[in-house]
Copies of this chain bind each other. A is one copy, B any other.
Amino acid sequence: MEDSNGIAYQRGRFLPVEEVNVSILDPAFSKSDVVFDVVSVWDGRFFRLEDHLRRFRESREYVRMKSPYSEDKMKQILAQCVDRAGLSEAMVYMLCTRGSYTGGGAIGDPRSCENEFIAYSHPYYWVVPRERVKTGVHLWLAETCRAPNSAINQKTKSFNRMDLTRAQFEALDAGADAPVLPSTDGFLTEGPGFNLWIVKDGRVLTPGDNMLEGITRLTVFELCSLLDLEATTANLTAEDLQKSEEAFISTTGGGIVPVTRVSERAIGDGTPGQISCTLRDLYWAKRAEDWHTTSVSGLLASSAESLAGTR
């Protein structure tokens, strides 16, 4: 099959992702009442599929949605979306939407909605320009705050991103690559699609509140452990970041990327730091070793058996 822009699954059908729409009356649009997750595929293998499914389950639980499918069935659908698109490097989205309220609008009782599951594959992408993985990224200290967990729980992956988008305008206007948002109480949180890390006195530190608990962030903790580096959460200020020995970001869309500049200030000597580069390289080396991976074709083969005769 030829490469495509991605294949989606919606209401029992696989179709080109460009053809999948949501009604403007659907609360998934008109209230952004939807949770999601994105798992990457590299060289035909999902990375940490079980962790993404666990987080997707936790997101659904927080917003009180139920997927109409079992996790096994969802895995099969995700694998099909990748396989049918002919993509060996992909981002694979899984969404759960509230579904229509009785009467079809968005007034009434959200508890009685029939929640829906949508999935799609998309060619792999980098949340910052790809060359930054080598040269380092320029972050911007945004003024726009990340909404706090007490209002919008950032552990729950949602499309409520007005704060991130506003901060992105700030960063781009300043000529930087991406913003980092403070919490409303003044500590750093995250940027659009990535977690933040600094190196201070040889320790590796990352925010612990009001941000998504990234799966690549989890991976960084494990890689640090393999390297005998101490990694922990900490309340970090803008000054901590700007005066750090090193800094880097972690993301499904690009792995580990060194930070070389924050607002008007260079980090260290302005080149990617040593610990950052070691983690970045180890990340890709481990992925090449099939660490935490699940083969797309293997998943499909295993189910061909179990599904035989169930159509």
- Which residues of A line the B interface, CB within 8 A? 5, 8, 17-18, 20-25, 27-33, 63-64, 95, 98, 104-105, 107, 109-111, 118, 120, 122, 125-127, 144-148, 150-153, 156, 158-166, 168-169, 172, 184, 253
A and B contact pairs by CB, cutoff 8 A, 26 listed: A8-B24, A20-B23, A20-B24, A21-B21, A21-B23, A22-B22, A22-B24, A25-B122, A27-B165, A29-B29, A31-B161, A31-B165, A32-B161, A33-B162, A107-B127, A107-B253, A110-B165, A110-B172, A111-B172, A145-B150, A147-B151, A147-B152, A150-B184, A152-B152, A152-B160, A156-B162
A184 near B151 with CB under 8 A, answer yes
B33 near A22 with CB under 8 A, answer no
Q: Point out the residues of chain B lying under 8 angstroms from A150, CB to CB.
A: 144-145, 184
Using A22-B22, A29-B22, A122-B105 as known contacts, say yes or no to A152 and B162 having CB atoms under 8 A apart: yes
Interface of A is mostly: loop
Q: Point out the residues of chain B lying under 8 angstroms from A28, CB to CB.
A: 29
How many copies of this chain are found per oligomer? 2
A125 near B152 with CB under 8 A, answer no
